[in-house]
Amino acid sequence: MKFPGRRRHKHYFPVEAKDPLTNQLNATERLHSSYITGIDQIVVDIEAKVDQAFLDEFKLQRGMSQVIDSDVTNALYERLKLHEMVDYEYAGGTVGNTMHNYSVLADDRSVLLGVMSENINIGSYAYRFLCNTSSRVDLDYLQPVDGPIGRCFTLIDETGERTFAISAGLMNHLRPESIDKSLIENSSALVISAYLMRTQGAETMTEATIQAVKYANDAGVPVVLTLGTKFLIEQDPTWWANFVEKHVDILAMNEEEGLAITGFEDPLLAADKALDWVDLVICTAGEKGLFMAGYVDEQLKRETEYTLLPGAIPDFNRYEFSRAMRKADCDDPIRAYSHTAPFMGGPDSIKNTNGAGDCALAAVLHDLSANVYHKINVSNSAKHQQKAITYSSLSQISKYANRASFEVLVQHSPRLSRGLPEREDCLELVYWDK
């Protein structure tokens, strides 16, 4: 496990190295590891630049992620091939991307649950998915299926807006009995997306997801839900709000999804509303950066050293130096919020926004899992006198998340090809240290 984010190491990390004062491990004892588990529809992204006429021709709604039938799939695919419009083909899936990016950032294990074709030909989409996934992502628990995985046509128009057309294949055929109970119970977090609830007919993905959520809820493992697309949530915001309140501990969304589920356009107010239901909220806001909201015990709150920010909640970042806690673990819970502008104001030129939010979430999960890792290996550390769910403060995590998103914006794929640089001199001065 790598140290999450970049800053001076106040608390001893990594815990592998020996230090007689802070690490009283027996040298022969093996370190315990932590991991996160995610469930996804296993898909490959097929990216092409298109215009509105193209979307109209295939009756696709701009900006939406929609499932298409096999006739539309064949016609669409033929058209893209005939006119040599396909720019890239990458492993995708919102949770698949998050697991991959987590493993790259943390240099550690994550487990991906879903389906995989049992017979794989070289060059097929299943093959491509496996090749494009970090070797740190454990794929041993995938359920074999007799047929293809999904394809996600990622159609980008001249404004940069993405329209997803999903050819499902057998991606939704994960069965509840394929969910390993002890795998979930021992995870630092279970990551799911709203897309997993979009199933029809004989598809069992939703039941499998509910099964995994139940195992996680019963074992006290944080359930992390990423909302995926506003269109899904807008269909029944009340159902989603109830689901989140009952089953979810950490909610990740962008501002559009935040509006869909809470009714608040302002990402700060959306995050605040979502805090009525969950312990921690991440709300990405494109060029406005990222908001986080969480709980801390009154006794353990830490005041920011940065400028207090105006907003719908005045001075909302006052306690952003606090580490996030579960509300139930606070004697006297107070709300803490943080906002961070995009790293370096955002890149000069954005190559791709596909997966920027997934990458921000991966960084947050890294911090969460690093906390578990540190706790199980250095349980007597002063750090764990506080029953926090994050290793770092809200302020620190949101900087790290923004930094990680930046890396996706300057490359073509939603998946990181490498970890963050070890040394970033400019970063030390102007970003972390301030």
Ligand X SMILES: Nc1ncnc2c1ncn2[C@@H]1O[C@H](COP(=O)(O)OP(=O)(O)O)[C@@H](O)[C@H]1O
Ligand Y SMILES: Nc1nc2c(ncn2[C@@H]2O[C@H](COP(=O)(O)O)[C@@H](O)[C@H]2O)c(=O)[nH]1
Four-residue CA torsion sign, 230, 235, 237, 239: negative
Shortest Cβ distance from residue 25 to ligand X (Å)?
37
**Contact window for ligand Y (CB under 6 A) among 87-95, 126-134, 320-328, 395-403:** 87-95
Burial 44-75 (b: 16+ CB within 10 A, else e): bbbbbebeeebbeebebeebebbbbeeebbee
Q: List 138's β-bridge partners, or say none.
A: 111
Helix axes 255-262, 237-247, angle to 10 degrees: 100
Measured from the CB atom, is 186 or 353 closer to ligand X? Answer: 353
Query: Which uninterrupted H or E stretch holds 137?
Result: strand 137-138
What is the DSSP code string of 401-415?
HHHHHHHHHTSSSSS
Cβ atoms of 281 and 361 within 8 Å: the answer is no
State residue 429 phi and psi, 5-degree precision: -75, -55
- Check residue 4 for interaction with ligand Y (CB under 6 A): no
Site for ligand Y in 14-53 (CB under 6 A): 40-41, 43, 45
Give how many residues touch ligand X by CB under 6 A.
17
- Check residue 360 for interaction with ligand X (CB under 6 A): yes
- Check residue 353 for interaction with ligand X (CB under 6 A): yes
Cα 356 to Cα 215: distance, rounded to the nearest angstrom: 29
Burial 376-415 (b: 16+ CB within 10 A, else e): ebbeebebeeeebbbbbbbbbbbbbbbbbbbbbbeeebbb
Cβ atoms of 285 and 330 within 8 Å: the answer is no
CA dihedral 369, 278, 111, 232 (to 10 degrees): -140
**Contact window for ligand Y (CB under 6 A) among 8-16, 78-86, 348-356, 375-383:** 348-356
The residue with its CB nearest to ligand X is: 357
Residue of 174, 357, 367, 392 that binds ligand Y (CB under 6 A): 357
Site for ligand Y in 196-255 (CB under 6 A): none
**Contact window for ligand X (CB under 6 A) among 28-36, 57-65, 99-107, 286-294:** 286-294
Measured from the CB atom, is 151 or 323 closer to ligand Y? Answer: 151
Measured from the CB atom, is 92 or 333 closer to ligand Y? Answer: 92
317 is in an annotated binding site: no
**Contact window for ligand X (CB under 6 A) among 39-47, 75-83, 126-134, 402-410:** 402-410
- Check residue 14 for interaction with ligand X (CB under 6 A): no
Contact footprint for ligand X (CB under 6 A):
254, 284-287, 289-290, 342, 346, 350, 353, 356-357, 360, 402, 405, 409
Contact footprint for ligand Y (CB under 6 A):
40-41, 43, 45, 65, 92-94, 97, 152, 164, 166, 193, 195, 354-358, 414
